Amino acid sequence: MTLVGLLTEEEKDLLTGQMVTLDWYYNPVKDCNEDWIISSEEIDNTTNEEFLWVKDLTMIEWCNPSPPITGSIL
């Protein structure tokens, strides 16, 4: 089971484009439930004092989104 940190839309906007640590940027993504999340690695490696609040995020099980259907079904 892979755990990830659950974000609100506002928290996602705050993290997008910001550094986890030197040369590593947050990459919020949506899971299969359309929730914004960040990885536990991003959380564990956060050193920027401005974003230490990510260490208190609710942790949920990663739910991989289904890949989009492409091409024709013939």
Q: What is the pLDDT of residues 16-73, one digit of tens each?
A: 999 998 889 999 999 999 999 999 999 999 998 999 999 999 999 999 988 766 766 5
Residue 72: inside a domain, yes or no?
no
On whether residue 36 sits in a domain, the answer given is yes
Q: HSE (CB half, 13 Å, CA atoms) of 44? A: 5
**Structural domain contains residue 70:** no
Residue 69 lies in a domain: no
Q: Looking at residue 32, what is its pLDDT?
A: 95
Domain that holds residue 43: 3-61
Domains in the chain, number = 1
**pLDDT surpasses 70 at 14:** yes
Instruction: Let me know if residue 67 belongs to a domain.
Output: no
d(CA 45, CA 56): 13
Q: Is residue 66 part of a domain?
A: no
Domain assignment of residue 56, yes or no: yes
Is there a contact between 54 and 46 (Cβ–Cβ < 8 Å)?
yes
| 74 confidence band (pLDDT: 50, 70, 90) | low
Residue 68 covered by a domain: no
* pLDDT at residue 8 is higher than 80: yes
